[in-house]
Chains A and B, each alone.
Chain A
């Protein structure tokens, strides 16, 4: 106990000294640090903060110190998180390497693979993207057809992926490929890592309904990948794939959590909280006068708080075993909550929440409209709401599966 108290004191002191002033202000979308070879730091203090945190391994606090991680116990990591929250510190580094690939690399990768990739993830030097979905394989991910054929000591990869988030900005991809065509679909999938600069890789951005283009079509034309870049065993990639999805879903379920005090992050503006927006756009002073909206917002906030407690309980319960099938429940619920949040913002803001561009709207009003549109993807990305509910029904509740029952008849 004493050791933990000492850890808290030294952490607090270190943060006091090392967290730059602007990194204690609410995050703005343009300043989110994704890292990578082509990282841009619109705010120089973001770079400073990243380097200092990475130096201590605190971008990935619980990862083993031998690969550059913080090597903290879960109790210490919790203290670090609390101390960071206490000073409203920004997240130093956001990446799919941290939230998705890293955990499975630590679980399934060889020592060499960990030595090569983990430190670069921690320091934000390499940015990763996820090559799972294909045009014909979305919910039925295991039917994927991108193929990798071993030729000498290289795999030759051909095929295409779709909806690959930030493929055009990423340095490396973790990619599901088919390596055996003769066996049932789950048994012929392998997990490959390769450089997006490899010859034969190309990307084409796709525009979202919100106007931005975060994802891409990704094409592989005779891409040569060293055989050593296979993660896990040949044809056993599906288990790794699913494990990674559990980490992804835990991350996405965080969309359901309100950050800071408000419903849209710790800003102090009129659209920071739902009730604040609702009162502002109705001209109310200290009580929301529309009883129907008041009821809906209260219901949302109650669910939101109960959800936050559930996320916390789930992560404390699973600290030993890592994420599990309840991550599907959290993913489902968190995403529905986030969609509800934005529908309520629209109801709160009336016509001011329906602008697209131009001077007649405040920048943050236009931002809400775009965020509302973007939130519709939450229940699709990382496995749709329906897939999550199927998993809960099958894996948590043990309910029989229609398709496999029917095929046995």
Chain B
């Protein structure tokens, strides 16, 4: 497993970086926030991302993608994290397309994945039902009635749930909440009868939604994979998304750190640059060390996703490692981002606060540090 990037990957990263810096800088995010954008991202920028092929980056060629691997997609996400550029990449591609690839039939995949790759179709995935990530705690039920399923229950924190064209929802066909057996995956149209979608405006100015499913009737063709056996595919797709989110967090963490170091060199108090104070120097040097580990954790996890010999358990271990580490370091670095800037760091006019807000949402999303440490321990049999 190479821990350096290939030439192609470096090129991709460089072009993603200049795209984000030039076309999707943090001022775009501020504008979306001020406009209380319903979408939560900029449509024109998303179209440009589609032209660059980002949605199809990790999708197989036969389904209209570029098969450039998850490492490539991770590099792109890292760059979006530097400028806090939001897009449907996380909900539609990382979660949605991955879940389709993992669970869908040949027909479902060839019908839908090309549309995701070309940006024509936006997906969202509904898993959690409470304020804390817990994918096996599905209580939402799906009852088979003839050739239909009837879904009843609720979903929370469904990223982009209010703008998706189709939603994939985890529901229980048997078993009790907490059990991995009995979870099935269903593909719903956003406008289907009985489905209520309420947008939630989050502190990071991106949007999620709460769903209420009140006797939603769908045909049995909407089942992804086999009944009651959806958890493995779900968890595999979640692992891909967890690693993708960790990549995005890595970009944000590095950006905050870079801003901190620049400020330590620029701001003067007591007649010297504040970076001359060892109290700050050592904390900066510690953060540097932690971020080096973060880079390796994320790259290691991305490589694992692209490694055909890796097992689902290998991927799960790396996903929890990366998400736990990045959640921990991103809390620390985002706090230091405010503290080391002093009063100006607390102002809305200054961008550093946006990183703090995004950090906490990204930390919680798909499991916080504590969730993933616990899962890591379980995966390592202790």
Contact = CB atoms under 8 A, between A and B. Distances in A.
Most buried by A among B201, B272, B356: B201
Contacts of A346: 360, 364
11 contacts: A138-B342, A138-B343, A162-B343, A209-B338, A293-B370, A349-B131, A350-B131, A356-B202, A377-B343, A380-B338, A389-B279
A351 B157 CA distance: 7
Contacts of A10: none
B347 A209 contact: yes
Interface in B125-152: 128, 130-133
B131 A208 contact: no
Contacts of A339: 335
A354 B343 contact: no
B348 interface: yes
Interface string B149-186: 00000001100000000000000000000000000000
B361 interface: yes
Given A360-B200, A376-B335, A386-B277, A351 B270 contact: no
A351 B134 CA distance: 12
Contacts of B348: 207-209, 211
Nearest to A372: B360
Interface string A373-407: 10011011100111001100000000000110000
Contacts of A209: 338, 346-348, 353, 356-357
A172 to B, nearest CB: 22
B205 to A, nearest CB: 7
Given A282-B132, A350-B131, 10 more contacts: A140-B269, A209-B356, A351-B128, A351-B202, A354-B204, A354-B360, A355-B202, A360-B201, A373-B353, A384-B339
A351 B198 contact: no
Interface of A: 133, 136-140, 143, 162-163, 206-209, 211, 281-283, 290, 292-293, 339, 343, 346-347, 349-361, 369, 373, 376-377, 379-381, 384-386, 389-390, 402-403
Contacts of B346: 208-209, 376-377, 380
A250 B187 CA distance: 58
A343 B364 CA distance: 12
Nearest to B156: A351
Interface in B345-360: 345-349, 353, 356-357, 360
Contacts of A389: 279
A140 B208 CA distance: 44
B79 interface: no
Contacts of B279: 386, 389-390
A256 B169 CA distance: 43
Interface size class of B (residues with CB under 8 A): 35 or more
Contact of A385 (B201, B339, B349, B356): B339
B370 to A, nearest CB: 5
List the 9 shortest-distance A-B pairs measured between CB atoms, nearest first: A350-B131, A209-B353, A140-B269, A207-B348, A350-B132, A351-B157, A352-B131, A360-B200, A163-B343
A403 B270 contact: yes
Contacts of B128: 351
Given A162-B343, A360-B200, A292 B270 contact: no
Given A208-B346, A209-B347, A354 B203 contact: yes
B361 A354 contact: yes
Contact of B201 (A138, A162, A356, A373): A356
A358 B131 contact: no
A281 B130 contact: yes
B373 interface: yes
A189 B331 CA distance: 40
A281 B132 contact: yes
